[in-house]
A and B are shown apart, each in its own frame.
Chain A
Amino acid sequence: MVGISSIGFVLLIFVFLMREGVPTFLEVPPGNLFGTRWYPTFDLFGTLPLILGSILVTLTAIAIALPLGVATAVFVREVAPSWAREVLKPMIEVLAGIPSVVLGFFGMTILAPLVREVLGVPTGLTAFTGALLLAYMSLPTMISVAEDALDAVPKSYRDAGLAMGATQWQTIWRVVVPAARSGIVTAVMLGVARAIGETMAVMMVTGNAARMPVTLDSLFRPVRTMTATVAAEMGEVAHGSTHYHALFGVGILLFLITFLINLAAASTIFQKRRRGGLR
């Protein structure tokens, strides 16, 4: 009975987002809605810079987090002596527990000035700073899912590799990691979903300028994501105004994107289970 209510909640979330957000699509012509300028005071609701902003920050974050995450997972699962594992795993859990607003605060006060000085850019509040923070925020998810994937690779694979005369290093990269590939892909997908939905930290460090991130140096300029837009502007709009509906519209977009990514990630997990691959 209660279990079914969780489908209810997913539906409810969707229904209420739609209820408040769908009017946008009626009030704002599509040319405006998917235009390149988001200036709500002038009735310009172009969501494109926000979407591209989110994509830029998220992809950069994953590009940073993927090598770090996979290497750490391999280290923890395959290489590290047990004392190192005992230190690493709780540390990563602690990272997962740090509230995003605290990380955002740290990003503002410590990381942003650092980025400004090291890169010599006019402001440290850039897409890159946000991506750096997001990379660390998605690491706990990625590491634990990737670790599970490595864990699921049968020991016989490793034994076979070693018996062929390969070193442990060769076995890891040519046998174990390829065998865990689909689990690692799942890890990346969940990391992406986590990063694209993250709000507070990103809002605090990316500078929030709603401009199209299309030039080469966009990464080192302020940018504005979908989540930050909703969080920053919702408090100030009149309920029922076009701007209000447009923010819910952005919410619908976010919901759909994360929903699809999670659905894809979940279906790979389910497939594995059925084939008996994952444990």
Chain B
Amino acid sequence: MDRHLVQRLGFALLGVVALIVVIPIVLVIGIILVRGASALSWEFLTAMPREGMTAGGIWPAIVGTLLLTLGTAVVAIPVGVGGAVYLSEYARDTWLTRVVRLAIINLAGVPSVVYGLFGLGLFVLFLQFGTSILAGSLTLAIMTLPIVISAAEEALRAVPTEFRTVSASLGGTRWQGIRHVVLPQAFPGIITGVLLGLLRAAGETAPILFTVAAFYLPYLPRSPFDQTMALPYHLYVISTQVPGMPPEIQYGTALVLLALVLSMNVVATLIRSYYRRKREW
């Protein structure tokens, strides 16, 4: 066969494969969007669940997920960015930093359910936080750390060395250079990484299964030591544990969770592309 014909057939085949990859993604989002939209109402978003969760809203699950995400952010951002600053600005290439890097890569690969076990062992039982928002947030934060650290480190490394030398030549200390020059320049990259990490935390179920999630709790948590409902766990519960669940509520919950996570995704992408165009170096 003519090899140019082979090439054209081959390229067409690759295009078809790319379609096979993309079409299910569109289908998943499309179906959940269409079927979930009919469930959405002001009441669904802001009311307590009623009648064994088969009626009413998902307000406590939404609040729970927002609280957990906030708790994760409070822990993961300072620790993660601090770690990244250390790795990119201070650490020399010794065996120790190499082990640290390896540890981060491995931390990123630990299965989410293992984080759940770890959170149960350390925070819930050993430190006696109980099944609580505190324990759940800490578990999610440790899971999020590797994402934040590697994204922030990449952003910091992308800042040209000249920025640091200029700052030093003006008499700034190393820390002043980092604080006033490097960090602001790397900020968009860092914030993108943080958002990507947080959206992962917001959507995860396995780490919160044994550390925070409540099956059915028709009131809002009052302290960090309370349990809470959360969107991903709620979706799991109403789609597998409760018989006779109206499908609209299931699809509605899936849609709210998906919308929350994807909007964070979109914001992260927009920030990245906006600053990439604005960047002067």
Contacts and interface: CB of A to CB of B under 8 A. Distances in A.
B30 to A, nearest CB: 11
Contacts of B110: 13, 197, 255, 258-259
Interface stretch (B50-58, B94-102, B155-163, B171-179): B94-102
A24 to B, nearest CB: 13
Contact of B254 (A13, A19, A102): A102
A139 B114 contact: no
Given A13-B118, A17-B121, A110-B31, A105 B206 contact: no
B33 to A, nearest CB: 12
Contacts of B264: 97
Interface residues of B, number: 84
B109 A105 contact: no
B15 A88 contact: no
How many chain A residues sit at the interface, stated as a range, is 35 or more
A169 B24 CA distance: 27
Contact of B121 (A7, A19, A95, A104): A19
B261 A88 contact: no
Contacts of B261: 97-99
A230 B258 CA distance: 25
A12 B118 contact: yes
Interface string B1-36: 001101100110111011011101110110110000
Contact of B109 (A99, A108, A143, A193): A193
A254 B7 CA distance: 43
A118 to B, nearest CB: 15
B167 interface: no
Interface string A108-120: 1110000000000
A79 interface: yes
A194 B15 CA distance: 26
Contacts of A95: 25
Given A12-B118, A235-B209, A227 B113 contact: yes
Contacts of B235: 101-102, 105
Given A17-B117, A234-B120, A97 B199 contact: yes
B106 A262 contact: yes
Contact of B18 (A84, A108, A261): A84
A72 interface: yes
Given A16-B122, A17-B117, A93-B265, A266 B250 contact: no
B21 A167 contact: no
A75 B13 CA distance: 9
Contacts of A9: 103, 107, 142, 145
Given A7-B100, A97-B262, A199-B205, A259 B106 contact: yes
A133 to B, nearest CB: 10
A20 B120 CA distance: 10
Interface string A254-279: 11001101110110001000000000
B224 interface: no
A95 B247 CA distance: 23
Contacts of B257: 99, 101-102
A145 B28 CA distance: 24
Nearest to B237: A101
A106 B31 contact: yes
Contacts of B13: 71
B21 A139 contact: yes
B87 A3 contact: yes
Given A20-B121, A79-B14, A254 B210 contact: no
A74 B91 CA distance: 36
A5 interface: yes
Nearest to B207: A199
A234 to B, nearest CB: 5
Nearest to B31: A110
B221 interface: no
B3 A13 contact: no
Contacts of A1: 82, 86
Contacts of B113: 197, 199, 227, 230-231, 251, 254
A55 interface: no
B46 interface: no
28 contacts: A4-B96, A6-B107, A9-B103, A9-B142, A10-B107, A13-B110, A19-B126, A71-B17, A72-B18, A80-B15, A91-B26, A94-B29, A97-B264, A99-B204, A101-B205, A101-B232, A101-B235, A102-B203, A106-B31, A167-B4, A200-B232, A200-B236, A231-B209, A239-B125, A248-B117, A259-B106, A259-B109, A263-B106
